[in-house]
Chains A and B, each alone.
Chain A
Amino acid sequence: MSAEPGTPSAPGSSTVPDPSAVSDPSAGEAISRDEVAHLARLARLAVTDEELDVFAGQLDVILGSVARVGEVAAEDIPPTSHAVPLQNVFRQDVRRPGLSQEQALSGAPAAEEGRFRVPRILGEEA
């Protein structure tokens, strides 16, 4: 990973958005074009300028609508992450067959010597 500030560790993870790109949801515009660009970078989507133009407007409308959840008084309500109550599910600690190396690599875009062949992971200066 490069040392650029604000670079996330993984897409989909909770990461603080670049403060300069953050807009105030109460100030009319829920999300700015710059913020959409920032989120797309976090999510590893190399979106085009045309897509940014379209998505910014659409996401602004969608966010304006979903913000309605804020109207519900729910301070003392416990959150539900899952429809059925979940507990850890364990199984007997016995060996069972998994995928063979050949099977695991069968869909790989590139493989070499029984391993996934991937592009360079570290930056030049790292």
Chain B
Amino acid sequence: MSSDLTRLDAATLAEKIHSREVSAVEAAQAHLDRIAAVEGDVHAFLHVAGESALESAALVDASIAAGTAPASPLAGVPLALKDVFATIDMPTTCGSRILEGWRPPYDATLTSRLRAAGITILGKTNMDEFAMGSSTEYSAYGPTHNPWALDRIAGGSGGGSAAALAAFEAPLAIGTDTGGSIRQPAAVTGTVGVKPTYGGVSRYGLVACASSLDQGGPCARTVLDAALLHEVIAGHDPLDSTSIDAPVPAVVEAARLGATGDLSGLRVGVVRELGGEGYQPGVRASFDAALRRLEKLGAEVVEVSCPHFEYGLAAYYLILPSEVSSNLARFDAMRYGLRVEKGASAEEVMAATREAGFGPEVKRRIILGTYALSSGYYDAYYGQAQKVRTLISRDFAAAFAQVDVLVSPTAPTTAFPIGEKIDDPLAMYLNDLATIPTNLAGVAGMSVPSGLAEEDGLPVGLQIMAPALGEAVMYRVGAAFEAARNADESGPLIARIPELEVAAR
């Protein structure tokens, strides 16, 4: 019974809870049991909040028993929250030593919305330190292991959230995507991850990596579940001045429509610059099969060119470190977080604290950003990168004038072995080649499972991109593709994941 509940998608589980076939407490307990059984192998969580999860679930049960309508379509469903959102009742570490054990004095807006929706927060998930990385290996608390192959990375920075879904530790998760941190982990774990339009989900209480790029979003095992979660967390927030004051796109309706399987009349653009050389053969083969499947659904598939995308990675690794070097100046050893009492002056204490509290990737990016913002280099690096950003946005605008959505492989490779790229930052950065342009332009993107690569049997993701606030058409295409893939392959991709060994309790 317990293990069955962890295999259900969120929509089905919610139905059972709301019809009182299953209690929210049973659902929470089943997932807590699963976490206890597999966490030793997976390490998706940095903190498990068993007691508060059960208390929150009991409130949902009491409310339903009293005849009150559920607070949301996902009331009572368990969720894994990336450890970068402030939570008043749980530590918020961002995968960093500098915030070890820190308890924020307030909840992020996203956290509050999850609570108000009656969603059960199981705990906080592992991540690359301050969301900088593509493998979760830069977490100060050790890497997350990919449930498809435990010696492989689960992607990053949100490897913990994606692995929690793939290991059936939670049916829903939250990630943040600055350059691909939701979509790339989704791709390498065979799950669904959505980066909403910039400003679509509040950043209030989301610890900043690069403020002009960061965006929280939903992660799940199905497109419909991601859509249901999207509608819970999205929407205008007066506490975030970059939050978009416009209605949330009707993504649940779009996902349901898409699942009926007709994309006729829709134009799908294949980005010429996001594919070919540098992409693993099995990734390319899965992508080509995905294009044929979209055509079979009635979509018209055309090639489009976005000539400046090839400069996206370079622009990103100037803009992001610049913002990081400024944002992370707040970790000064004075107001919260770690303090290393070494040296006589505040300045020396700050330098010693940051040396001890930050890991190598964070230091590299702070130094790089400090360099890019230095006068003398500012125009050649940061200023020029901002102009390239404009050109990338214009490429998107021109492409979306011709097609409804753009597609590409989500990541150039499948999950690579843990340790393979840890000492080669540039090789690590290349993982985000296909996802970065979306963040630079602020448009929407998602990854849905497209298949397994022939050479290693590991999951491949299909990336679907849509214009700003164009999430509805993106979810429609994602759901149609998912339904067609499941029908052709007699079941969802995630059903093909090898069983994890369950630890004795």
Contact = CB atoms under 8 A, between A and B. Distances in A.
Interface string B195-206: 000110000000
Contacts of B335: 107-108, 116
A3 interface: no
B354 A99 contact: no
Given A14-B374, A110-B339, A69 B238 contact: no
Contacts of B369: 12
A77 to B, nearest CB: 4
Given A46-B354, A109-B338, A62 B317 contact: yes
A39 B242 contact: no
Given A69-B314, A104-B105, A16 B384 contact: no
Nearest to A117: B334
A39 B363 CA distance: 11
Interface string B366-391: 11111101111110110111111111
Majority secondary structure of chain B interface residues (helix, strand, loop or mixed) = helix
B66 interface: no
A94 interface: no
B336 A16 contact: no
Contact of B355 (A42, A45, A65): A45
B345 A69 contact: no
Name the residue in B326, B329, B374, B441 with the highest tally of chain A Cβ atoms < 10 Å from its Cβ: B374
Interface in A69-106: 69-72, 74, 77-84, 86, 89, 91, 99, 103-104, 106
B400 interface: no
A122 B345 CA distance: 7
B336 A72 contact: no
Given A83-B439, A83-B468, 15 more contacts: A17-B374, A43-B370, A44-B332, A45-B354, A62-B425, A62-B429, A65-B317, A66-B385, A72-B388, A74-B391, A79-B386, A83-B198, A89-B241, A109-B333, A116-B334
Contact of A45 (B343, B367, B426): B367
B349 interface: yes
A25 B343 CA distance: 35
3 pairs of A and B residues whose beta carbons are closest in the complex: A83-B442, A107-B336, A79-B386
Contacts of B385: 66, 69
Given A70-B384, A74-B384, A77-B387, A45 B366 contact: yes
Contacts of B388: 69, 72, 74
Q: How large, as a class, is the contact surface on chain B?
A: 35 or more
Interface string B77-103: 000000000000000000000000011
A119 B349 contact: yes
A61 B108 CA distance: 37
A63 B103 contact: no
Contact of A70 (B337, B380, B425): B380
Interface in B211-256: 212-213, 238, 241-242, 244
Contact of B315 (A69, A91, A118): A69
Given A47-B355, A58-B425, A107-B337, A72 B387 contact: yes
Contacts of A47: 355, 363
A77 B244 CA distance: 26
Contact of A72 (B213, B311, B368, B425): B311
Interface of B: 102-106, 198-199, 212-213, 238, 241-242, 244, 308, 311, 313-315, 317-318, 325-329, 332-339, 341, 343-352, 354-355, 358, 360, 363-364, 366-371, 373-378, 380-381, 383-391, 393, 425-426, 429, 439-443, 468
Contacts of A74: 384, 387-388, 390-391
B337 A16 contact: no
Contact of A16 (B354, B376, B426): B376
A107 B338 CA distance: 9
B381 A69 contact: yes
A45 B347 CA distance: 10
18 contacts: A12-B326, A12-B328, A14-B378, A22-B376, A25-B377, A44-B351, A45-B363, A46-B354, A62-B425, A65-B314, A68-B311, A68-B314, A80-B386, A80-B389, A83-B440, A108-B334, A118-B334, A123-B345
A58 B361 CA distance: 11
Contact of A99 (B106, B368, B386): B106
Given A70-B384, A89-B241, A118-B334, A63 B325 contact: no
B314 A66 contact: yes
A106 B345 contact: no
B244 A84 contact: yes
B105 A44 contact: no
